[in-house]
Structure 1
C-alpha cells in the first residue's frame, strides 16, 4: 500500500534557502553541461566562453521575464544542435580545438540574425493575440509532436554516451554500460522513493550523478589527465561579431534561417513547463501561473539570448528540454534556482579547477542521466497533447503528428548529423535539411491547410 507523502515543490517565484539554491542550481548545471559543452566542441567555440555567456544569457532572460510581467519563466538557455551544420560549414573546426576567432566572429553575425528573427516573431505574436494566434500555426498536436520528436530523436545520442560509442569504442564497452545503467537506476530510484522526504527529494539527478561517478572510478572511466592543470582564474576568450565580412549575407541567411528549428522547439518547451507549473500550483492550492500565454515574450527572450550569444562569442541556442525534464522530475521550477545555475555556469568559465572537476564526469554517467532526461522530454510532449485534449481519433490530427514523428525521429537517427538528404536549397542547407526543423515545418504547413480549407467532417474526441 502506498504511503502518503508531504508535498514538496517550488513554483517559479519561490526562493529556496541559499544552501538549497546552490545544490539545486548545480544540479541544473550537471544537466545542461553535456549538451552545452558538446555543441561548443563540435562547432569550434571555446568551452569556457560558451559556459560563461550562456549562463549570463539565462540570467538576463529570467530577469527580463520578471521585470516584464512580474514573474519568472523558468527556462534554462544553452546551445542548440540545430546550428551545427550551418556553423561548421564556415568554421571547419577540429573536434575540441577552438576555431579561428576570425571565423567565429563571422558566424556570430548569423546568431544575431536568429536573435532578431525571434524577437520579431515574438512581437508579431504579442500584437496578434498571443497563444490563441500561435495555436492557429502551432497547435498542440504540432508542439506536442515536436517535443516528442526532440526527446526521442536524442535517444541515439544518449545511448552512444552510455555505450562507449561516443568515446570512440564503436563496439560498445560493458564498463560504460555498467556505469550508465547504475546511474540511470540510481536516478530512477532516488526520484521515485525519495518523494516526500524533504529537500533531498529534489536532488535525484545530482544524487544519481554522484553514484554513477563513484562507480565509474574503479571502472577506470574517470579521466584525470589534464584535470586541475589550469590556473585558478581564467578569462574566457570573448570574440565579437564582424559585420564587414564578405560572408555577412551568407551567414545571415545560412545561419539565421535555423530559427525555424528553435521557434517550434522553444514554443513546445514553454507549453510543457506551463502545464507542469500549473499542475503543481493546483496541488499546492496556489494561483496558476498560466505561462503559456506569454509565448510572445518567451520568443523575445529567446531572441535576446541569441543576441547575447552573438555579441560575445557563444553558440546560438534555445531553452533546454533536459532542464525542463529535471524540473518536472524534481518539481522545482524556481526562477532564483535557475539564476543560481546561470551564475555557476559563468563561474565555470572563469574558475579553472571547478570547470576541470565537472569535465571529469564520465560520458557514460552523462549517458545514463540522458536516457532518463531525454525520455522525459518525449513524455512531456505526450502529456501536453493529453492536457490540450488533442483529438487523436481525427485523421487530420493523426496525420500531422505522424509526419512530424517519422520525419523528425527517422531523419535525426537515420541520417548523419540528423540531416535529410534532400538536394534542394543547398545554398542554405549544404549538408541536407535538418530533420527536426523540416518535420516541424511540415507539421505547420499541414495544419495551415486545415486552417484555410476546413475539412468536411471533424470527429469528436472519444472520452
Structure 2
C-alpha cells in the first residue's frame, strides 16, 4: 500500500484511506467489486427508458472521472444512471425520442452548474446550520432504508410473482457474503461482496435462472452507438423537455448532499468544506451534461457503492477510479458487459440487503456518536417525521415533476429544525417549575 504525499489526515478506522493506493492485483479486484455493485442499476435505467446500456456505462465511467478531477480526487464517489428522471424520460422517449431527453439532461446538468457557482460565491457554512446531526442521521437512515423495498423485490420477485427459488438464491448470496466477511481475514474479507456475487451467480447457473442469450448475441468489441446533437440527429429545440427535466435537478441535489453526508461520516472528513460543496455539485452537473451530449441518461452518486465503502472500509479513490476505467472499457467489450448484465436480480437483491442496511446503520451511528437526546421532544419530532415520510415513500407530485421521498423528508427535516423552538412549551414549564422548587428549598 502506498500513501500519496498530499494526505494530511488519516482515518485509522479505514483499511485503505481516501488517498491510499492498493497493490495492482488487489486494486483490480476491489474495483471490479464496485463495478458489480453498480452495474445492475446503471444499465437498468437505460433499459427502462430505451437507451443503449453501453452508452450509459460509458457516460457513467467518464462522469465519475470528471467528478474526481473537479474534486481533486478527494471524494470516493461513483456516479451512475439516475432513477429520479426515469418516468419523465420514458414519457419524452415515447413523444420525441432521445433528442428531447438529451436536452433535458443537459439542462438539468446546467442547473447543477449554476447552483455550484452560487455556492462558490456564498460559501457552504450554511450546510452545518440547516443539516445538524439530528437531521443528518435520520436522512442517512432513510437513504438506506428507502431502498429496502427495491432490495426485497429484487430478491423475491420474478416479474410480478413471488419466486421461492429467487429468494433462496438471494439468501444464499447474502449468507456467503457474511461468511467471507466474518470468517475470513485479509484480502478475502475485503472482496467479500464480489465473492458473494460470484457464489450467487454460480448457484443461479446450476438452477438455470441465468439468461445467457445476451452473451451469445453480444459482440466482443463494438463502438457504443453515441447519440451526439447535430451529428447523430438533426438539432431541434425541445423546450417542454427542458422545463420538465431541469427542475428534477433540485431533487437529485438533495440526494447528492445526503450521499456526501454519508461519505463525511464514513471517512471522518468534511467534503462540504474540502474540496467544497460547489465542486461536488459542479462535478455532478458536468457529468450529467456529458451524458446528455453522448447519449446517456443523467448521472448521480450511487448508494450501492457507498454501501461497499461502508462494508469493506476501503475508501480509496484509486479503487473508485479503477471501477470507472473498467466501466469505460467494458462499454466497448460487449461480451464482458453482457456477462455482468446477466447476473440475476436475486443475486443483486441478496447483496443489497447488506449494502443498503449498512448505509442506514451509519445514520444510527451519527445519532449515537453525537449523543442525540431523544428525551427532548424537538429531537423526537424531527426524527419521527423524517423517518416516516422517507421510509414510507411519501412524495409530492405536481404534473410531471415529482419530489421524491428522500428529497421531501430532507426539506421537512430542515424546515422543522429551523422552525421548532429549542424547547417545547411543556418542557419549559417543567424546567421553570423545577427551578422554582429548587429556589424554595434553598431559601
Q: TM-score, normalised by structure 1?
A: 0.82
Q: Does 1:251 align with 2:236?
A: no
Structure 2 match to 1:74 = 76
SS at match of 1:403: helix
Q: Is it true that 1:9 corresponds to 2:21 in the alignment?
A: no
Corresponding position: 1:442 with 2:412: yes
Asked whether the equivalents of residues 24 and 337 of structure 1 are also in contact (C-alpha less than 8 Å), the reply is: yes
Q: CA deviation at 1:53?
A: 0.7
Q: Does 1:151 align with 2:144?
A: yes
The whole-number CA distance in structure 1 between the counterparts of 2:229 and 2:38 is 25
The residue number in structure 2 matching 1:291 is: 271
> Is the Cα contact below 8 Å between 1:228 and 1:357 reproduced in 2?
no
> How far does the alpha carbon of each residue in 1:2-42 deviate from its partner, in whole angstroms, 9 at most, with x for none?
xxxx9871111111111111111100000001111111211
Match of 1:23 among 22, 29, 33: 29
Who is 2:435 aligned against? none
DSSP-derived class of the 2:300 partner: strand
- Report the count of equivalent residues: 412
8 Å Cα contact 1:228/1:352 also seen in 2: no
- Pairing of 1:324-403 with structure 2 (within 5 A): 324-403=306-385
Is the deviation greater in 368-377 or in 49-58? 368-377
Distance in 2 of aligned mates of 1:439 and 1:72? 28
Higher alpha-carbon Rg: 2
1:394: Cα distance to partner?
3.3
Distance 1:120 1:458, change over 3 A: farther
* 1:191-230 residue CA offsets vs partner (Å, 9 max, x unmatched): 2222xx2222210100101111111122111121231322
In structure 1, the partner of 2:100 is: 106
* Aligned with 1:190 (options 170, 176, 180): 180
Closer, same or farther: CA 362–190 of 1 in aligned 2, 3 Å: same
Q: Aligned in 2, Cα 1:219/1:81: closer, same or farther, shift over 3 Å?
A: same
Q: Is the 8 A contact 2:177 2:193 kept in 1?
A: yes
Q: Which residue of 2 aligns with 1:238?
A: 226
Secondary structure (helix, strand or coil) at the match of 1:78 reads: strand
- The Cα RMSD (Å) is 2.6
Contact 2:112-2:249 at 8 Å conserved across structures: yes
Superposed, 1:82-101 pairs within 5 Å as: 82-92=84-94
For residues 416-427 of structure 1, the aligned pairs below 5 Å read 425-426=398-399
Q: Deviations over 1:127-156 (max 9, x none)?
A: 3332x3112333333333332222211111
Q: Is the alpha carbon distance of 1:360 and 1:456 closer, same or farther for their aligned partners in structure 2, counting shifts above 3 Å?
A: closer
Residue in 1 that maps onto 2:266: 276
Structure 2 segments unaligned to the other structure (5+ residues): 1-11, 429-443
Q: Deviations over 1:240-269 (max 9, x none)?
A: 358964532x22232111122222211121
